Amino acid sequence: MAPASPAGSAPGSPRLPPSRSPGAGARRPPATGRTVVDRAFPRTPRGALKISRTLVALAAFICFAVSGAHGAYTALAGMETVITLLFLLLYLFRVDARMRFLLWPLADIFNSVIAALFLLVVALFAIIIKTNKGTLAGGVLGLILLVLCIVDAVLLCKKIRLERGRGRSAPPK
């Protein structure tokens, strides 16, 4: 009868050292090919604001498109929907943490301010002209979107100031 071999090794094969498994408190690095989703982001004020901006922009786009409004109204609402959705996905999938060469909150502030300026003009024209009820509804949603853009820019400015105050972005003196 052959001598008993240790568990996990076949008779005649070289003995391998036991595998070391990480303890309960050890963290594994994320897999490189795996998508990491920040599940907490939609519950933050910034996440809720991005989601609401996307939904209001989509509603304004639908109002303008269905009512047959001027192409500029529909194009602006459509662009705002797509750009805000891309920023939402950027923060949701933590792409901003992987691509550190660009200050994403600053790019988001520029987007919010420029969108607010365009929305001010387009929404006021849509409300003043009132070609039909769909255009009027899109103009009102555009004004709501304008307020959301300003609030988003203010929240992002506060975020940048907080990070700079903690010494994350401040250059050494």
For residue 17, what are its two tokens?
């050292």
CA 129 to chain centre: 34
pLDDT at 33: 60
Residue with structure tokens 């498994």?
Answer: 21
pLDDT at 39: 86
CA distances from 11 to 3, 8, 17, 38 (A): 9, 10, 15, 48
CA 8 to chain centre: 47
Residue ranges of the alpha helices (H) in 8-132? 45-67, 71-92, 95-98, 104-129
Which of 25-29, 69-73, 149-153 is the most confident on average?
149-153
For residue 152, what are its two tokens?
């988003």
Looking at residue 40, its amino acid is A
- What is the C-alpha separation between 11 and 24, in angstroms, rounded? 33
pLDDT tens, residue by residue, 92-149: 998 888 888 888 888 999 999 999 999 999 999 989 987 889 899 999 999 999 999 9
- Per the confidence metrics, is the pTM higher than 0.75? no
pLDDT tens, residue by residue, 61-105: 999 999 988 888 999 999 999 999 999 999 899 888 888 888 888
Residue 50 has pLDDT above 90, yes or no: yes
